[in-house]
């Protein structure tokens, strides 16, 4: 069977599915990509059983068949092919795939398709249509706050709450929380916890491919199915009770500080030079009147920098893990932000001035 296709399309599809190929496995076939050939299209599938990515390209083929190709070898080869025109030829009897492009020829030993794990899920009629940009933004602005420790169960996931008019993602770890809400005409309600690692992969695949604006999200049993362009990504969700994150959010704050984002980012970056190798990466923030002073200290020396702020409420001296602050400031696109504090042991809340619907919460580090 001969298959004619374009290098650029093939390359993009293989890049997308490669995110789901497990890096280490005892089952060699899982390090492969399932290729299913129809007369006018070819579908590639890779899975590590927690995340499955399918990508379809247009081809011209003189038959139908399916087989499994070693992922790393095939992706590496395709990215380097000399010409845009590619001919693939599959010899079923020898499970061998020939690849031709210009004066380049190769043969790749494949696996039989029967052994590849295949999951068929009935999709629902209740899909949510949402812009790709919104999904990427939701993920970028929350997933970094999820726990990286597998022992923390559901907290390694991103809680995704959908109602008629909006979609909200929430990520909570021991010392911090991120909540981001975007408008979306979902037309249904749902509540699932998606592992942060997997949702970050989904975000990467979306970024790699941007021909259409909209995508669909479907929630079926314990799986979420993302469809965009010619890709379909299915991820397993986490089961369990997510914490009542709304209860953690303090309603009243005694101290409110308005800060220019780029100024505090650069000052924290400089103060961190001394403490980046310390465990708690402690920086001390002292706000007196309309002046914020950032301090850091180690046995090599000390650093101090001042920035102007607009403050209401009492003066305060409070300690933070610099990384937690930086993680938040890095994903904020606003020029200015508001910090809400109560005292130097209660969580600090970071919110928007622009009306964008985010809330970050960071627990202080105790200082003497």
Candidates 205, 274, 341, 362; binder of a second copy (CB under 8 A) is 274
Kind and range of the H or E run holding 223 = strand 223-228
Judged by CB under 8 A, the stretch of 114-122, 214-222, 296-304, 328-336 that binds a second copy is 296-304
Q: Kindly list the distances between the CA atom of residue 186 and the CA atoms of 32, 126, 163, 171, 195, in Å, as whole numbers in the listed order.
A: 36, 9, 7, 21, 21
Contact yes or no for 231/217 (Cβ under 8 A): no
Nearer to a second copy, 182 or 274 (CB): 274
Candidates 2, 250, 258, 270; binder of a second copy (CB under 8 A) is 270
Within residues 210-239, the interface with a second copy by CB under 8 A covers: none
3-state secondary structure (DSSP) of residue 88:
strand
Q: Please enumerate in sequence order all residues whose Cβ is within 8 A of that of 76, keeping only pairs 6 or more positions apart, or say none.
A: none
Cα dihedral 77/80/82/83 (nearest 10)? 80
Cα dihedral 90/92/93/98 (nearest 10)? 10
User: Can you tell me the distance from the alpha carbon of 307 to that of 287, in angstroms, rounded to the nearest whole number?
Assistant: 10
Candidates 5, 45, 61, 70; binder of a second copy (CB under 8 A) is 70
- Helix pair angle (261-275, 322-331), 10° resolution: 150
Judged by CB under 8 A, the stretch of 97-105, 147-155, 204-212, 231-239 that binds a second copy is 97-105
Nearer to a second copy, 103 or 251 (CB): 103
Of the chain, the end-to-end C-alpha distance in Å amounts to 74
Candidates 39, 60, 63, 80; binder of a second copy (CB under 8 A) is 80
Judged by CB under 8 A, the stretch of 210-218, 304-312, 338-346, 347-355 that binds a second copy is 304-312
Q: Which two tokens stand for residue 39?
A: 């007369």
Tell whether residue 105 is a contact of a second copy (CB under 8 A): yes
Kind and range of the H or E run holding 243 = none
CB of 159 to a second copy, least distance (A): 37
Judged by CB under 8 A, the stretch of 167-175, 249-257, 293-301, 347-355 that binds a second copy is 293-301
Q: What are phi and psi of 155, to 5 degrees?
A: -70, -10
Tell whether residue 112 is a contact of a second copy (CB under 8 A): no
Judged by CB under 8 A, the stretch of 103-111, 188-196, 207-215, 315-323 that binds a second copy is 103-111
CB of 206 to a second copy, least distance (A): 28
Tell whether residue 330 is a contact of a second copy (CB under 8 A): no
Nearer to a second copy, 159 or 274 (CB): 274
Which residues contact a second copy by CB under 8 A?
Answer: 70, 73, 76-77, 80-82, 96, 103-109, 266-267, 269-270, 273-274, 299-307
């Amino acid at each position: 069977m001969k298959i004619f296709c374009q290098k650029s399309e093939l390359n993009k599809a293989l890049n997308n599915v490669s995110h789901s190929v497990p890096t280490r496995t005892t089952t060699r076939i899982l390090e492969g990509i399932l290729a299913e050939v129809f007369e006018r299209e070819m579908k590639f599938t890779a899975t590590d059983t927690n995340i499955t990515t399918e990508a379809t390209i247009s081809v011209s083929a003189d038959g139908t068949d399916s087989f499994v190709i070693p992922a790393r070898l095939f992706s590496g080869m395709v990215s380097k092919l000399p010409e845009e025109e590619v001919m693939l030829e599959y010899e079923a009897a020898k499970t061998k795939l020939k690849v031709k492009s210009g004066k380049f020829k190769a043969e790749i030993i494949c696996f039989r398709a029967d052994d590849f794990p295949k999951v068929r899920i009935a999709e629902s009629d209740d899909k949510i249509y949402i812009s790709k940009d919104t999904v990427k933004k939701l993920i970028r602005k929350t997933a970094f706050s999820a726990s990286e420790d597998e022992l923390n169960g559901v907290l390694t996931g991103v809680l995704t709450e959908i109602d008629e008019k909006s979609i909200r993602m929430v990520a909570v770890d021991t010392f911090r929380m991120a909540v981001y809400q975007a408008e979306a005409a979902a037309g249904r309600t749902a509540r699932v916890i998606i592992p942060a690692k997997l949702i970050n992969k989904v975000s990467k695949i979306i970024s790699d491919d941007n021909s259409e604006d909209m995508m669909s999200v479907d929630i079926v049993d314990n799986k979420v199915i993302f469809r965009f362009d010619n890709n379909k990504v299915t991820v397993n969700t986490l089961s369990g009770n997510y914490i009542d994150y709304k209860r953690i959010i303090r309603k009243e704050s005694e101290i409110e500080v308005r800060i220019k984002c780029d100024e505090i980012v650069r000052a924290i970056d400089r103060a961190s030079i001394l403490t980046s190798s310390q465990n708690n990466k402690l920086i001390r923030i002292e706000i007196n009147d309309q002046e914020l002073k950032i301090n850091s200290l180690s046995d090599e020396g000390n650093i101090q920098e001042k920035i102007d702020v607009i403050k209401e409420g009492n003066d305060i001296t409070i300690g933070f893990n610099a990384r937690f602050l930086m993680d938040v400031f890095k994903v904020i696109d606003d020029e200015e932000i508001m910090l809400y504090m109560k005292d130097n042991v209660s969580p600090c809340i970071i919110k928007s001035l622009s009306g964008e619907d985010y809330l970050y919460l960071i627990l202080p580090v105790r200082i003497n």
